[in-house]
Structure 1
Amino acid sequence: MSTDNMQSGNRKFIERMKEIDPDFFKTSGAGQNPDYFVIACSDSRTDPETITSSLPGRIFSHRNIANQANVNDDSFRAGLYYALAALQVDAVIVLGHTGCGGIKAVKDGVDHAELAPWLAVIQNRLESQTADLENLSVGELEKLNIQAQVEHILSTSAYREAGSDIPVIGGLYHTESGEIEWL
């Protein structure tokens, strides 16, 4: 496996950023000032910066399978705290997507040793939202999962300490059309 494609893409990125703003890298090197903290899925089709045409530095992101706001995940907790307390983002966004493999795995009952603990957290959170989990479609579960993550963020100590004036917004990225549906 070669990194030639990535290296070529990096060169194009540098050229494009210098065309947009000749001082981009100088400014970027001085620090970040993002507008949003986005919790998104690790799915390779759903990069928040790409699907929103955001320039580097506008989105501080945390990605994992099925866009979980899991307080048992040290990385998530640290990211949320840092986004709210240090970066003082304007909004927190939970960005799920259609065709989510993590949600489908929960629905299908996938039981792989490496995935089971993560999927169990998702399943438990969804079950706390509805008693009718088995009869809901994957699409309905994707939306329910996003709403559950939004509610979970609102209940965290990091969010409460930051103040309730910071909106927490759910969005569903439609992989088949490219559109974001705000929930």
Structure 2
Amino acid sequence: MTTLKPLLARNRSWALMQRQCSPKYFEQTAQPQQPHSLWIGCSDSRVPAEVLTGSHPGELFVHRNIANMVVSDDDNLLSVLQYALEYLKISAIILCGHYGCGGVQAASALPDMPLAAQDNALSRRIGLLRQALSESLNPSPDPTQDESTRQDRLVEANVLTQFANLTATAPVQQRWAQGHTLNIFGCVYDLHSGHLKELVHQSTAEGAS
């Protein structure tokens, strides 16, 4: 209760402020949703999609998980993807990682973590992530590269890897084959500056740019 009470109080304050600014605010947001984009991001509490993009309710359809992963047998993610494309008719997908990602850090350190000896959902997930980043985990040829820079490069490598997984999914390929407009962006968020950076973009089945 001690955690919920302040959240409820802030919720009431927020709702009141919205009604004061726009009396029809909740009447409008209660209408059927028509988001323009699907956001696939990390569950990290510092990376809320609507806040960092300045979006309003109804603009983004959001899926978040540890390290913004796209896994071929993840029914949760795939059902979100299918619903966004087939029913909401979204025209863009933003896959977003972020510097300082704990999932990526765990994947790079996994052999030396107690998690490596466990058999649970988290250990399996981080294990999959480590496999996905296996090539990027090789020692850097640049001896002057510090650990912070190395972790940033791993975060970017993860975005590119998950982006490739996303563009290869059946719902995305089918959407492109049907001639629908669908732009997919791979981005990274900088916790220190608050800025998003585009790493890769693809709008057809042919390839990324």
Q: What TM-score does the superposition give when structure 2 sets the normalisation length?
A: 0.80
Q: Which residue of 2 aligns with 1:103?
A: 104
Unaligned 5+ segments in structure 2 are: 141-149, 200-209
CA distance in 2, matches of 1:27, 1:162: 29
Report the residue type matching 2:196 in the other structure.
I
Q: Which residue of 2 aligns with 1:42?
A: 43
Q: Which residue of 1 aligns with 2:194?
A: 178
CA distance in 1, matches of 2:33, 2:77: 19
Unaligned 5+ segments in structure 1 are: none
Counterpart secondary structure, 1:16 = helix
Q: Where does structure 1 differ by over 3 angstroms across 4 or more consecutive aligned residues? A: none
Q: Which residue of 2 aligns with 1:154?
A: 167
Residue 47 of structure 1: how far off its partner (Å): 0.6
Residue 175 of structure 1: how far off its partner (Å): 0.7
Report the residue type matching 2:56 in the other structure.
L
Q: 1:134 aligns with which of 135, 138, 141?
A: 138
CA distance in 2, matches of 1:147, 1:175: 19
Report the residue type matching 1:2 in the other structure.
T
Q: What is the RMSD of the two structures over their aligned residues, measured on CA atoms?
A: 1.6
Paired residue total: 180
The structure whose Rg is larger is 2
Alignment of 1:1-183 (within 5 A): 1-109=2-110, 110-112=113-115, 113=118, 114=120, 115-127=122-134, 130=135, 132-136=136-140, 137-163=150-176, 165-183=181-199
CA contact (8 A) 1:107 1:134 kept: no
Q: Which residue of 1 aligns with 2:143?
A: none
Residue 15 of structure 1: how far off its partner (Å): 2.4
| Range with bigger deviation, 156-165 or 38-47 | 156-165
CA separation of 1:111/1:72 partners in 2, compared to 1, >3 Å: closer, same or farther? farther
Report the residue type matching 2:167 in the other structure.
L
CA contact (8 A) 1:69 1:76 kept: yes
Report the residue type matching 1:21 in the other structure.
S
CA distance in 1, matches of 2:114, 2:198: 31
Report the residue type matching 1:166 in the other structure.
L
| Range with bigger deviation, 157-166 or 82-91 | 157-166
Residue 111 of structure 1: how far off its partner (Å): 4.6
Identity between Structure 1 and Structure 2 (%): 29
CA separation of 1:122/1:7 partners in 2, compared to 1, >3 Å: closer, same or farther? same
